[in-house]
Amino acid sequence: MVRTSVCIHPGSRAFFVIKHYEKQRTRDYFYASLIIALAPFIRYIGLALVALFLGYTIYFIFAFRVNKRSSVVKYLLLSTISFLPIGLYLLRNYRDTGTLTGERLPANLTIFGNLNSVLEVFVQDINLYFRILFLISVIFYVIILFNKNRIGNTKNIFPSSFILILFFLYTCFILYTTTQAKVDPIGTRYFAPLYPLLLIFTFIGLETILSSELPELVGFSNIRLFRIGILSLICISLLANIIGFNAWLDNISKNRFVPVSHTEAGFNLSPTSLNLNKYFHRILELQDQIHVVVSMDFQLPYDKYFGPDMFYRESILRSYSTNRFAFGDIQVYDDYWGTIRDFSLSMQIDGDPKLIKYHNTPRIRNDLQLALYLIEITEEYNADNITLIVHNENLVFIGDDVLLPTIDEHFDLVSLESIDPYHVYELTISK
């Protein structure tokens, strides 16, 4: 067997936690500590990693009998790099808001409900063949763990244990968070960052099985057959992933060209989004201040939490011509979180200050309600005329003589033009 010694990159020198465990060099511990400090600054759940690292430090001090007082102090000091920055940041949050990670509504799910969601995520996300492989890895991990003396090669126990404990801690943190506060429901999003580690654990386990006499040791007489079985499962698992990938890509491809679904696969190719973007450019060129009032009964089809305000805000955000932004009163939470979505956006276009004020309104269910609401708006803002952007989806049907006669009772129709060939019309009316 030939071991790798020629590398074009520092691959063989690149394992800080693992390398520190193997070589006990302070330098590796320092690097690991530095990188782990970044994790909770990206997502608060990264605190699980910090907690594990502190656990590792204590384990290391005891397991390797770091007796010298200077060494113990050195490790304890270095470990502060991992938790001190986030600790100070959380204290600052507490000073400002009275909470460590922001105010949130109480959760409406029990720990058992959340635990069930966790299991559902694993069943949905991980294909059957990989689950079997993972299970085999876990079984052999336990066998090696309890037979360390009989089995010589135990160098893979540490990384496997590290991953398993991180997985456990991470899941516990998520269960705690989702049981305490109202956050996004448990789903793929929470666990997907761990999937590379899950694959690494399985890989290490399978590699140990395939390259040793371990299966024979636990009673598999035909090792060759056992290995063929494992390799077949690996190939089938890859195939299942590729099939899933293909279906996923197909779904994106289909959604991308549905006119209203502008963000499932991206913004650039969606006709609705592009047209609305042009529309905003045009009205911003003509006016210094506009009020965007959205009260449509449409929900974009792919995401139940994605409301119309996001649609408009996104159209504004992607504007190339607006070269300076300043947001005021940003509130991105919706009713699900218990707050309102109104926001204002000030910017400059070629040096001219512009202001967009976004107002969320109650849902309007029929044309009469819409007409009455238009009267209310024109009185509130003292506007002589008003421009409607009508999404021709669930509520209003231009050309079907449903909206226009109702509006005509109260307003004069100034112009009607199509912004988007599919769904969006501009309708200017005056009192």
Partner 1 sequence: MKLLRDKNFISRSLILTGSIILLFSLSVDTFKGGGQPASFGFRQVIGMVLGFLLVCCGTIFFLRNSDSSLRERIQTHKTSLAVFMAVALGLSWLLYIYNAGIRFSPDSVAYQSFALKMHHIADFDTGATWPPLYPILIHIVMYIQRFPAGAAAIISGLSMIGVLTIFALILCKYSNDVALIIVFIASLFFWDKFLYIYTPAWSEPPFAFILVLALFL
Q: Which one, 158 or 397, has the nearer CB to partner 1?
A: 158
- State the nearest-atom distance from the C-beta of 427 to partner 1, in Å: 27
- State the nearest-atom distance from the C-beta of 378 to partner 1, in Å: 29
- Strands 352-360 and 289-294 turn out to be parallel
Q: Which one, 281 or 318, has the nearer CB to partner 1?
A: 318
Q: Which one, 212 or 369, has the nearer CB to partner 1?
A: 212
Task: Output DSSP code: residue 338.
Answer: T
Token pair, residue 194, equals 């761990």
- State the nearest-atom distance from the C-beta of 208 to partner 1, in Å: 8
Q: Give the Cα separation of 255 and 262 in Å (integer).
A: 8
Give the C-alpha distances (Å, rounded to integers) separating 5 from 9, 11, 25, 208: 11, 10, 21, 21
- State the nearest-atom distance from the C-beta of 205 to partner 1, in Å: 10
Q: Which one, 194 or 377, has the nearer CB to partner 1?
A: 194
Strand runs labelled E in 382-430: 385-391, 412-418, 424-430
Residue entry with tokens 């994790």: 39
Q: Which one, 335 or 376, has the nearer CB to partner 1?
A: 335
DSSP 3-state helix, strand, coil percentages of the chain (rounded to 5)? 55, 10, 30
Give 394's Cβ-side CA count (13 Å radius): 12
Token pair, residue 215, equals 């299966």
b/e burial code for range 28-37 (CB count within 10 A of at least 16 → b)? bbebbbeebb
Q: Which one, 237 or 378, has the nearer CB to partner 1?
A: 237
Q: Which one, 75 or 397, has the nearer CB to partner 1?
A: 75
SS3 annotation, 147-209? CCCCCCCCCCHHHHHHHHHHHHHHHHHHHHHHHHECCCCCCHHHHHHHHHHHHHHHHHHHHHH
Q: Which one, 140 or 162, has the nearer CB to partner 1?
A: 162
- State the nearest-atom distance from the C-beta of 109 to partner 1, in Å: 19
- State the nearest-atom distance from the C-beta of 351 to partner 1, in Å: 14
- State the nearest-atom distance from the C-beta of 382 to partner 1, in Å: 30
First to last CA, the chain: 87
- State the nearest-atom distance from the C-beta of 32 to partner 1, in Å: 6
